[in-house]
Amino acid sequence: MMPAGLAILAAVLSSLSFSSFNLWPLAWCAFIPLFIALENKSMRSSLFIAFLCGLVFWSICVWWLVHVTLLGQIVLILYLSVYFALFGGIIYLARFIPPVGRLFFLPAGWVLLEYLRSHLFTGLPWALTGFSQYKNLAVIQVADITGAWGVSFLVILVNAAFYLLLRKSAGKKIFGITFFLLFLVTGYGWVKLNQPPDRNTQGRVRISVIQGNIAQELKWDRQQVDFIQERYEQLSLAAVKDRPDLIIWPEASVPGLWGRDKQEYDRVFSLAGRLQTEILTGAVSFSAGDYFNSALLINPAGSVAASYDKLHLVPFGEYIPLKNVFPFLETIAPIGDITPGKEYTIFRLRPALSERPADFGVLICFEDLFPELSREFVKNGAGFLVNITNDAWYKESSAPYQHFAASVFRCVENRVYLARAANTGISGIIDPAGRVLGMVADRRGKEIFVPGYLSGEVCLFAGRRTIYNRYGDYFILLCLLLDIGLAVFYLCRKRG
């Protein structure tokens, strides 16, 4: 097969591991065709072939972005493919390193590129290789030590090992190292999975997550205000029969501006009073000429007990980067102009099943993609996390499933429960081991673009913080030192 064909095959195999089909085993061998395609290629050819692989991968992975912006989708795919091209350069350099060193050089390089992509230009940690394994519970438990980066590292390491064994570039030593690491990670995972998730908790909170299923084209239609509010009222009236301490509505679920549209919010305040239950709702807030993407905690007394303004905004979705310098950028995705928040707000409940207050943090929209936000909320005292989001933009696609995977990792990394309310799905509750305890679904099992609610219990976080929560992305530093060390060592050895 020609190098271009092998690169495309690698992209297809890798992208399928992220799709709604959840073919996660494919990720463990998806990069082998790319390694073969770059054999004996020049640096220039390696960059080009790997860039082609990235083009195909991201075109399949984020095809649904066309529902929001075609031009923005094209620009994003081209940009993200550059990271694949850079990995092609790393693969080229790896040929000068002996097989055992190459086994670690390649995954460390890939993780560094994923980290760079997650932070450069505000960052986009979408479809990290580790995320493909969110249903592979035994493997992902190591994320409480390394973060999702450790899972990405292991997947690429296994790809590299298979390739080296296939090409007879290594023997028992590489097989032994790979088997030992897999045994270590999965063994740790099985130990964690067999620990009761509530063994060190200090009380429970009953929660109901609401999935309104409001089509994106209706959300801000003034003629649909009554329909939208009645939908959430009816679902909340049904959910309150389960006697929750907290009812959670999705991102921007109230069809009006907090701070301007009094009637719409008075109706929510009145509902909280009738239900005698606190409601956490997503809202667009307006204050002093600025707009915020917010979460409001409404108490049974009919007032806002606390609020949080989204910290990490979506570029070209909630704001336009450098729009004063490059005005034409507004044509890429003229959606909104939101101001970022400034504080990590911790919300507080007094649940019936707990002797202590229940503190929690809220992640709005794609904030669950950024592990540093979840870490900070837990550091500040959050006993569990909530994610409110709206993926209706992307229609019935793999986007909600790809997004949901990030929430699973945030639970494992911090060993906390997470409740998720999404406008069109996926809504559900996840435990500290990444187990999905339940999802909103209809009678046929359909999880997206269906209305409904789910009630369940989350346990309050208690005990020692995880290694990852305490020390953050130290694993990235280890990968950097590993790649630099290997390059310097073998360069000096070659010259010697």
Annotated active-site positions, please?
251, 310, 365
Other CB atoms closer than 10 Å to residue 121's CB: what's the count? 10
Can you name the residues that pair with 458 across neighbouring β-strands? 205
Contact, 276 vs 315, CB < 8 A? no
* Separation of alpha carbons 469 and 144, rounded Å: 7
User: What's 339's DSSP letter?
Assistant: P
Residue whose entry in the numeric block shows the structure tokens 């007879």:
168
Contact, 107 vs 160, CB < 8 A? yes
Contact, 398 vs 404, CB < 8 A? no
165 CB-near residues (< 8 Å, 6+ apart): 174, 175
Nearest to 345 by CA among 290, 315, 305: 305
Strand extents, DSSP E, 300-369: 303-309, 347-349, 358-364
Can you name the residues that pair with 111 across neighbouring β-strands? none
Q: Sort strands 204-211 and 246-248 into parallel, antiparallel or unpaired.
A: parallel
**Helix axis angle, 70-94 to 99-119, nearest 10°:** 160
Residue whose entry in the numeric block shows the structure tokens 């109230």:
254
Q: Kindly state the tokens that stand for 38.
A: 């770059």
Other CB atoms closer than 10 Å to residue 422's CB: what's the count? 30
Contact, 123 vs 184, CB < 8 A? no
Rg of the chain (C-alpha set): 23
Nearest to 323 by CA among 310, 338, 311: 338
* Separation of alpha carbons 132 and 55, rounded Å: 18
In single-letter form, the type of residue at position 387 comes to N
Contact, 439 vs 454, CB < 8 A? yes
Instruction: Check the CA dihedral 473-475-481-484 and report its sign.
Output: negative
Q: Kindly state the tokens that stand for 445.
A: 């099992």
User: What's 24's DSSP letter?
Assistant: G
Q: Kindly state the tokens that stand for 410.
A: 């945030």
Element (H or E) spanning 40, and its range? Answer: none
Can you name the residues that pair with 248 across neighbouring β-strands? 209, 280
Other CB atoms closer than 10 Å to residue 360's CB: what's the count? 29
